[in-house]
Amino acid sequence: MTDQRSQAEIVRNSLKRRYRKERRFRLYGLLAISIALASLFTLFADIINKGHTGFIKTTITLDVTLDSGMMYLDDPTDEDQRSMADFMAPIIASLQEHFPTADSASDRRALGSLLGTYAASEVRDLLIDNPDLLNTTQTIELPAHDRVSVYVKHADNPRYTIKLSEQQQRWVDELVEKGVIDTSFNDVLFSRGDSREPANAGVLGAIVGSLLTMLVTLIISFPVGIAAAVYLEEFAPQNKITDFIEVNINNLAAVPSIIFGLLGLAVFIGLFGMPRSVPVVGGLVLALMTLPTIIISSRAAIKSVPPSIREAAEGVGASKMQVVLHHVIPLAMPGMLTGSIIGMAQALGETAPLLLIGMVAFIVDIPDGFFSSATVLPVQIYLWASSSEQGFVELASAGIMVLLTFMMSMNALAIWLRKRLERRW
Amino acid sequence: MNTMNSGISAEAENQDEPRAASVAEHKPEDTVIEEGKTVGKPFSDDPKFKLRNVEVFYDQARAIKNISLDIGRNEVIAFIGPSGCGKSTFLRCLNRMNDSIDICRVKGSLALDDHDIYDPKRDVVELRARVGMVFQKPNPFPKSIYDNVAYGPRIHGLANRKSELDDIVENSLRKAGLWEEAKDRLDATATGMSGGQQQRLCIARAIAVSPEVILMDEPCSALDPIATARVEELIAEMSESYTIVIVTHSMQQAARVSHRTAYFHLGHLVEVNETNKVFTSPQHELTESYITGRFG
């Protein structure tokens, strides 16, 4: 009896120690999660803080009299005349109406530099589309110059340098007060390709490029990855060759992505003579990079199909092929899809291999096919982040936000698909 | 060696036979088993299966040691024996379920209706259509009840029209005693049913391809007593039209459902006889020890 009591005491004492240990262990876990969450939060806060202004554009709205004499233009449909015409003149004239005292040549130049380089071409495009507007007065919304934009959005921000003269700053202040200079949602960002001018640069080209590239990657890596996984898991004989292949697939998953870029450069462009900077080559390279991830996760998914289901199917006389097609693949599909989507999300954020195959070029046009020059979101971000104009800094952050949105949607899709397909259990 | 499986020990304890103290000086597990020597009645006049000198190896390990046995037409035969004695392995030879295990080799002659089961030219799919199987754990496909039963007929092309398939499904579910419970929810997923219903569904699925033989590997070990009773009833009904081989750990079950009982020990087939003879007057010392619960 006493023996028992003392034993109970020992147990009780050890319990205290065990609980302490457990509490400490849980605390470590909590700490780890807090650190991860804090880092993530800081990252997001920083990006949003820097980048939210990228979603805002600065415009100058003017009543422009499209005077044919001022522009040296009688017929907007005549290309020769257009190339000689001065579309800037009516805009500056309209600005001068706000500041009648500024009429020297240097003042006129200073006024004109408030507008973006593409202001003149906006007027030209308007006249090409509607030649009848010649000699009428139109209210036109024109992009402000990057310097004006920085001044309007970041006058108080020490990270930005204001590059307007005192005179220009006074003008801008006045125009803002009058409502001529205004800020609004930056629809240019989602409707244009890249540009030398931040006010005119958009991510649409990069988004389309990314989508085309991802499509190629998906079409190649998903079926090939799943076929490889199914073969290795279900049909391959257990021997040295299979082991060798297995080891190499695992190794491939760890190969730095830039190596795949070199491979793409050497094989697809060098050997097969495919064009540079095109989504097809980018997609092929990323498909090679994604394959190991898809194969590994698909094999894990196939392995997790309970053997009892295989036996059940074999028991009623299903052939190996039928067991795999009717039971194993459908049951492993959620896992395969999740793995593939995560692989695709990785590929979406990949920059290094694409730099090597020339997808880093400055491309203004929005790609219209798999063989037209394109760039992708992460490369576009890289390009903007490394450019010197101040306006591109916020655009880069805005681009990061767009990229993150895409990735989060893909991950959400993966979770949704898994949940949906798993309900069949 | 011979540690008691908890399930068996519980059953053994329940048996009212007195424990023979007189054999204490001679331990039953010391008995030398003569290889290939089976006492009782291993052969049958009208055999469905003719199994001669069967040996099974897992790599080098010999799991089945020179077993010869006949399984009669429309007979219910029960395989009993301690865990790891090879009864499941032997059962799985009968429809070549061991094929998928790479290291498993089968020797000897195994014939179904005088045709060699392990003939390399023999199509295993056709064999399994004739020799159905029900497993230890209910393993319905994660599909609808209808699709579970219809799966076999579909892959074998047994029905040309939807109505024929409907008939097969209904008949199979009726034979498995599941029709009344399932007829209103044929489209519901099978995994939502109770364990006993799932096991009967698995039986219906096996019946649906109209096999001649049904192999059952401990079909009731995951079921409660009521579901067990239902399955046993079913076995009795089915014995009229099918040959049934059942592996069981429950000696009462063997006694209730089978015509003949085979006792396996360490890969040997020790004794085969009519079930009542095995349980009332076992001829071999090991059989007696086992059924009286001296070891499990």
Contacts of A46 (CB under 8 A, 6+ apart): none
As a whole number, mean pLDDT of residues B139-161 equals 90
Find the CB nearest B133 among A315, A327, A424: A315
Residues of chain A contacting residue B100, judged by C-beta atoms under 8 Å apart:
310, 314
CB contact under 8 A, B205 and A316: yes
**What local confidence, expressed as pLDDT, does residue A228 receive?**
95
Higher pLDDT, A418 or A229: A229
Select from A71, A93, A91 the least CA-distant residue to A82: A71
Chain A contact for B209, CB < 8 A?
Answer: yes
What confidence tens digit (pLDDT) does each residue in A292-303 have? 999 999 999 999
Residue A307 Cα, gap to closest chain B Cα (Å): 10
Structure tokens at A319: 């052939």
Homologous superfamily of domain range B35-291: P-loop containing nucleotide triphosphate hydrolases (3.40.50.300)
Residues in B touching A322 (Cβ below 8 Å): 155
For residues B43 and B251, is the Cβ–Cβ distance under 8 A?
A: no
pLDDT of the residue at A360: 84
Q: pLDDT category, B150, cuts 50, 70, 90?
A: very high
How confident is the model over B40-52, as a mean pLDDT?
A: 86
Q: What average pLDDT does chain A have?
A: 89
Q: Is A248 exposed, middle or buried (0-12, 13-18, 19+ CB in 10 A)?
A: exposed
Higher pLDDT, A338 or B8: A338
Note the pLDDT of residue B39. Answer: 83
Residue holding tokens 């009731």?
B220
pLDDT band at residue A324 using 50, 70 and 90 as cut-offs: very high
Distance CA B244, CA B27 (A): 34
Best of B151, B199, B203, B217 to disrupt the A interface by mutation (most A CBs within 10 Å)?
Answer: B151
Nearest CB to B139 within list A312, A322, A424: A312
Question: For the purposes of burial, counting CB atoms within 10 Å of the CB of B17, is it exposed (0-12), middle (13-18) or buried (19 or more)?
Answer: exposed
ipTM of the prediction: 0.79
* Interval B69-123: pLDDT, tens: 989 988 999 999 888 888 889 999 888 888 888 888 888 889 899 888 888 888 8
Angle between helices A279-303 and A204-230 (to 10 degrees): 40
Q: What is the mean pLDDT of residues A148-154?
A: 88
Query: Is B191 an 8 Å CB contact of chain A?
Result: yes
Average pLDDT score over residue span A368-386:
91
| B126 and A CB contact within 8 Å | yes
Using the Cβ of A236 and the Cβ atoms of chain B, whether some distance falls under 8 Å is answered with no
Domain ranges of chain B: 35-291
CB atoms within 10 A of CB B233: 13
As a whole number, mean pLDDT of residues A27-33 equals 97
Quick one: closest CA in A to B188, which residue?
A: A424
For residue B13, pLDDT over 70 is answered with: no
A37 vs A194, residue with greater confidence = A37
State which residue of chain A sits closest to B141, comparing Cα positions: A309
Which pLDDT band holds residue A1 (cuts at 50, 70, 90)? Answer: low
Task: Work out how many CB contacts closer than 8 A connect A with B.
Answer: 66
Q: How far apart are CA B289 and CA B294, in angstroms?
A: 5
Flag whether residue A316 sits within 8 Å of chain B, measured between CB atoms: yes
- A176-180 contact pairs (CB < 8 A, 24+): A176/A152, A178/A98, A179/A61, A180/A60, A180/A61, A180/A62, A180/A98
Domain ranges of chain A: 59-184, 204-422
Contact of B239 with chain A, judged by CB distance below 8 Å, is answered with no
| Chain A positions in Cβ-Cβ contact with residue B122 (cut-off 8 Å) | none
Cα A63 to Cα A138: distance, rounded to the nearest angstrom:
5
Q: How close, in Å, is residue B68 to chain A by CA atoms?
A: 24
Q: Which of B2, B60, B69, B11 is nearest to B221 (CA)?
A: B11
Residue A14 has pLDDT above 60, yes or no: yes
pLDDT at A71: 84
Residue A234 vs residues A46, A309, A328, B114: alpha-carbon distances, Å:
48, 14, 9, 33
With 0-12 / 13-18 / 19 or more C-beta atoms within 10 angstroms meaning exposed / middle / buried, residue A340 is buried
**CA dihedral for A176, A181, A187, A192, sign (positive or negative):** negative
> Which residue is closest to B142 within chain A, CA to CA?
A425
- What pLDDT band is residue A179 in, cutting at 50, 70 and 90? confident
Sort out which chain B residues have CB atoms less than 8 A from A317's CB and list them: 125-129, 152, 155-156, 209
Contact: B189, A331; criterion CB under 8 Å: no
**8 A C-beta contact, residue B262 and residue B77:** yes
A424 vs B126, B142, B152: nearest CB: B142
Q: Could you tell me which chain B residue has the CA closest to the CA of A424?
A: B142
Contact list, B139 vs chain A (CB under 8 Å): 306, 308-309, 311-312
Instruction: Tell me B99's DSSP state.
Output: G
Strands B115-116 and B47-58: unpaired
B133 close to A (CB below 8 A):
yes
Whole-Å CA distances, A352 to A222, A259, A357, A375, B25:
22, 9, 9, 12, 80
Q: Which fold has domain A204-422?
A: MetI-like fold (1.10.3720)
Average pLDDT over residues B173-191: 88
Average pLDDT of the segment spanning B133-161: 90
- Report residue A317 as tokens: 């006389």
Give A282's pLDDT tier (boundaries 50, 70, 90). very high
pLDDT in tens, B232-249: 988 988 888 899 999 998
Q: Does B155 touch chain A (CB under 8 A)?
A: yes
Residue A133 confidence (pLDDT): 85
**Identity of residue B256:** R
Q: Least CA distance to B204: which residue of chain A? A: A316
A317 with B155: Cβ contact below 8 A: yes
Distance from CA of B191 to the nearest CA of A (A): 7
- Contact between B252 and B11 under an 8 Å Cβ cutoff? The reply is yes
B100 interfacial to chain A (CB closer than 8 Å): yes
> Cβ A317–B152 below 8 Å, yes or no?
yes
Tell me the pLDDT band of B18, cut-offs 50, 70 and 90: very low
pLDDT bucket at A423, cuts 50 / 70 / 90: low
Whether chain A has a CB inside 8 Å of the CB on B141: the answer is yes
Q: What three-state secondary structure class fits B264?
A: strand
pTM: 0.79
Beta strands in A238-376 (DSSP E): none
Contact criterion met (CB < 8 Å) for A311 and B151 = no
Report which of B154, B235, B167, B165 is spatially closest to residue B200, judged by C-alpha positions: B235
How confident is the model at residue B27, as a pLDDT?
Answer: 65
Judge whether residue B23 has pLDDT over 50.
Answer: no
Buried (b) or exposed (e) across A278-298, using 16+ Cβ within 10 A? bbbbbbbbbbbbbbbbbbbbb
Residue A125's pLDDT band (boundaries 50, 70, 90)? confident
In 3D space, the residue among B151, B222, B142, B145 whose CA is nearest the CA of residue B176 turns out to be: B145
B156 inside 8 A of chain A by CB: yes
Nearest to B219 by CA among B248, B197, B245: B248
Task: Output B11 or A272, whichever has higher pLDDT.
Answer: A272
Q: What is the dihedral of CA A63, A66, A69, A75, to 10 degrees?
A: 180
Q: Is pLDDT above 50 for B12?
A: no
For A23, the token pair is 């509490």
Give the list of residues 6+ apart from residue B135 with CB closer than 8 angstroms, or none: A308, A311, A312, A315, B202, B217, B219
Q: Do residue B139 and residue A306 have CB atoms under 8 angstroms apart?
A: yes
Q: Which two tokens stand for residue A386?
A: 């490394």
pLDDT at B3 over 60: no
On the CB side of B115, how many CA atoms lie within 13 Å of its CA? 10
**CA–CA distance, A12 with A23 (Å, rounded to integer):** 17
Residue B150: closest C-alpha in chain A:
A316
Q: Please indicate whether residue A224 or residue B2 has the higher confidence score (pLDDT).
A: A224
Q: What are phi and psi of B215, to 5 degrees?
A: -95, 130
Chain A CB within 8 Å of residue B125 CB: yes
Q: Lowest-pLDDT range, A75-79, B190-194, B225-229?
A: A75-79
Interface test with B, best of A316, A320, A424 (most B CBs within 10 A): A316
User: Looking at beta carbons, which pairs linking B1-8 to residues 24 or more positions away fall under 8 Å?
Assistant: B1/B29, B2/B29, B2/B82, B2/B295, B2/B296, B3/B296, B4/B295, B4/B296, B5/B82, B5/B83, B5/B249, B5/B296, B7/B221, B7/B249, B7/B250, B8/B82, B8/B83, B8/B249, B8/B293, B8/B296
Beta-bridge partners for A61: A141
pLDDT at A215: 94
The answer to whether the CB atoms of B209 and A317 lie below 8 A apart is yes
Distance from CA of B203 to the nearest CA of A (A): 11
Is the pLDDT score of B21 beyond 50? no
Q: Residue B15 has what pLDDT? A: 45
